[in-house]
Amino acid sequence: MTAPGLPMTVPAEGLPARVRIHEVGARDGLQNEKTAVPTEVKAEFVRRLADAGLTTIEATSFVHPKWVPQLADAEQLFPRIADLPVDLPVLVPNERGLDRALALGARRVAVFASATESFAKANLNRTVDEALAMFEPVVSRAKAEGVHVRGYLSMCFGDPWEGPVPVPQVVRVCRALVDMGCDELSLGDTIGVATPGHVTALLTALNAADVPTPALGVHFHDTYGQALANTLAALRHGVTTVDASAGGLGGCPYAKSATGNLATEDLVWMLRGLGIDTGVDLGRLVATSVWMADRLGRPSPSRTVRALSHQEQ
Amino acid sequence: MTAPGLPMTVPAEGLPARVRIHEVGARDGLQNEKTAVPTEVKAEFVRRLADAGLTTIEATSFVHPKWVPQLADAEQLFPRIADLPVDLPVLVPNERGLDRALALGARRVAVFASATESFAKANLNRTVDEALAMFEPVVSRAKAEGVHVRGYLSMCFGDPWEGPVPVPQVVRVCRALVDMGCDELSLGDTIGVATPGHVTALLTALNAADVPTPALGVHFHDTYGQALANTLAALRHGVTTVDASAGGLGGCPYAKSATGNLATEDLVWMLRGLGIDTGVDLGRLVATSVWMADRLGRPSPSRTVRALSHQEQ
């Protein structure tokens, strides 16, 4: 019995030729580990992800170490990977974080907003508009420095406290982030409740509010197993930036039911099958996630990692 | 924090209004258990599935007990559930199996063919055409009795020994099953390697060979996490019959890498979100899968079952 290491490629109509994967495992994944991963392991992880062909690897977060002690080594980590020929965006929650990132030469930063008041309160201890006001000088200073700015938006589909999130409410915050100067948005389904029609409806409403599809990335969670079907709906709408986490690492520490980032390997399997170019070598990526799973002492939740690493045994 | 027990409903264009779920957990799931489940537990499982709103529940298999000892109690089980107001198809591998099923009053039977020589040999110890010849009298006798016949076709996308399976090879066997009198086909991605473009290409080729979409069901496995995205592609093509297994039970005992039937709960979550009617009460279905997982002594692999039962704790 031979191991099918790759799917058969059969393109489908109406999909993009190329997708840029925004790899979040090193930041979104590792910030949720109970114990901080050693800096040298993080650096090696990012290096292996780059070797596997990922070109956008979110590296770390310049939040206060008190809130995310797992990423308290951002100053030590970033210089170790800065030589890699890939984009290394970093999270910056405020001007202090931006100062730290810029001092290290970061050329891509991301702010982290919420579509709902409940999550803004839980995650940032602010109202939605207070958080936007906090990000405003961060974005304008970054743009003045010629730095690319991504705006994450959490709870775009449902919220654990508020339930379904109305599309116009999400559009309003997206519009504010774009007006502020964000180059790109990442629409987060933080608790994984979205379904494909909801995805298409939000993207359509954003276009109607003059937020163009090339400025939109999607960030799905597999809490209810919907992430890849939602991604397919987004691709059909023309989205070409998809967030994923190697091995399915991570979730969100402030929302109990938010588990399971879309695994990069499951995404690459589908895109490879569809003939959509990502530049990623699936075998190397799986090997990287298996290596990281060994470091973390538990198996990857990615079905593709499980299937392919099982066959390699 | 409240538990989102259902997704927000946002329909998408070009999808069917209603989908019939062909529930395979009691047969495809339980035939893969190492230890046979007691007959009374199977009967209760089927009863609870019917109470949850499933209308087509594959009940058991009339194969020789030597091959599938887990379902050796078909004669004892069927009469205990025959009163349920649902369709209860059963697997029949040959005329002897058909005799046993008809004697108990079964009104829906299914034969189990393979698109590849390797799997036909492994599963049936016959060539593809020898297997078809074996099914021919089964189907014609069933049809003469006015019994509905489903033709399962395994390895429609990839085969663990042969790799990718050419679409024309699958179409040939499908055509033979339809010519023989099968009312419905179930296109099986037994090892889970399919991707959405491949699904659409096969369905399109079948239509071109005069196999109409209403006669086609899809049976996806989540080995690489692709089942729901593939289902979405099939729905877009007009398919309205989708196989799934409550709690994600099962796989295939003769193909090592064939794990993970699409979980009915993950499917229902997506369909409910899309506003596609299934008649299923998701809460009751999750409770049924949690109950069954307790009987089997291990958690359900369904992400939706895990998410919803976690929240219920």
The region of weakest confidence among A221-235, B241-255, B264-278 is B241-255
Strand locations in chain B (E): 20-23, 56-57, 60-61, 90-91, 108-114, 148-154, 158-159, 163-164, 184-189, 216-220, 241-244
- Has residue A3 got a pLDDT over 70? no
The region of weakest confidence among A26-40, B9-23, B89-103, B251-265 is B251-265
Q: Check CB contact under 8 Å for A1 and B270.
A: no
A33-80 residue pLDDT tens? 888 899 999 999 999 999 999 999 999 999 999 999 999 999 999 999
Quickly list H helices, chain A: 39-51, 74-81, 95-103, 117-124, 128-144, 167-180, 196-208, 227-237, 264-273, 282-296, 303-312
pLDDT given at position A187: 98
Collapsed DSSP state (helix, strand, coil) of residue A91: strand
All residues at 6 or more sequence positions from B294 whose CB lies less than 8 Å from its CB, including other chains: none
Comparing alpha-carbon positions, the chain A residue that sits nearest to B15 is: A197
Cβ count within 10 A of residue B269? 29
Place of tokens 């499933």: B54
Rounded CA-CA distance B286/B313 in Å is 13
Q: Nearest to residue B220, comparing CAs of B248, B254, B182?
A: B248
Rounded CA-CA distance B49/B230 in Å is 24
pLDDT given at position A256: 46
Whether A8 contacts chain B with CB within 8 A:
yes
The ipTM estimated for the assembled molecules is 0.95
Interface of B with A in 243-272 (CB under 8 A): 256-257, 259-260, 263, 266, 269-270, 272
Whether A176 and A136 have beta carbons less than 8 Å apart is answered as no
**From the list A225, A259, A269, which residue is nearest B224 (CB)?**
A269
B156 assigned to active site: no
Closest approach of chain A CAs to the CA of B3, in angstroms? 6
Q: Looking at beta carbons, which residues of chain B come within 8 Å of A309?
A: none
Comparing alpha-carbon positions, the chain A residue that sits nearest to B202 is: A10
Interface of B with A in 270-289 (CB under 8 A): 270, 272-275
pLDDT given at position B251: 60
pLDDT given at position B3: 53
- Has residue A2 got a pLDDT over 60? no
- Has residue A107 got a pLDDT over 50? yes
**From the list B8, B194, B225, which residue is nearest A228 (CB)?**
B225
Say how many CA atoms lie within 13 Å of B248 toward its Cβ.
Answer: 25
Q: Go through the domains of chain A in sequence order and give each one's CATH number.
A: 21-312 (3.20.20.70)
H helices, E strands: number in chain B: 11, 11
pLDDT given at position A255: 46
The region of weakest confidence among B172-186, B195-209, B258-272 is B258-272
Rounded CA-CA distance B165/B174 in Å is 13
Rounded CA-CA distance B87/B106 in Å is 9
Selected residue with higher pLDDT from B306 and A214: A214
A129-187 residue pLDDT tens? 999 999 999 999 999 999 999 999 999 999 999 999 999 999 999 999 999 999 999 99
Pairing mode of beta strands B56-57, B60-61: unpaired
Closest approach of chain A CAs to the CA of B228, in angstroms? 6
Per-residue confidence band for A4, with pLDDT thresholds at 50, 70 and 90: low
pLDDT given at position A68: 92
Q: Nearest to residue B174, comparing CAs of B133, B210, B134?
A: B210
- Has residue A311 got a pLDDT over 70? no
Backbone angles phi, psi at A185, to 5 degrees: -115, 150
Say how many CA atoms lie within 13 Å of A190 toward its Cβ.
Answer: 28
Largest CA distance in chain A: 59
**From the list A157, A160, A269, which residue is nearest B1 (CB)?**
A160
For residue A11, the one-letter residue type is P
Pairing mode of beta strands B184-189, B216-220: parallel
**Of all residues in chain A, what percent carry a pLDDT higher than 70?**
95
pLDDT given at position A250: 86
Backbone angles phi, psi at B111, to 5 degrees: -105, 165
For residue B15, the one-letter residue type is L
Rounded CA-CA distance A214/A117 in Å is 27
- Has residue B108 got a pLDDT over 60? yes
For residue B213, the one-letter residue type is T
Break chain A down into helix, strand, coil percent, rounded to 5.
45, 15, 35
Q: Which helix (H) or strand (E) holds A150?
A: strand A148-154
Distances (CA, A) of A56 to A16, A72, A151, A252, B49: 18, 21, 15, 20, 45
For residue B195, the one-letter residue type is T
pLDDT given at position B311: 45
Closest approach of chain B CAs to the CA of A295, in angstroms? 23
Per-residue confidence band for B301, with pLDDT thresholds at 50, 70 and 90: confident
> What angle is formed at CA B142 by the lines to CA B138 and CA B246, rounded to 5 degrees?
90
> Taken in order B62, B64, B68, B72, is the CA torsion positive or negative?
positive
Q: Please give the average per-residue pLDDT across B215-244, as a whole number.
A: 97
B247-275 residue pLDDT tens? 999 864 444 444 689 999 999 999 999 99
For residue B261, the one-letter residue type is N
Chain centroid, CA B78 distance in Å: 18
Whether B189 contacts chain A with CB within 8 A:
no
Strand locations in B68-107 (E): 90-91
Q: Looking at beta carbons, which residues of chain B come within 8 Å of A116?
A: none
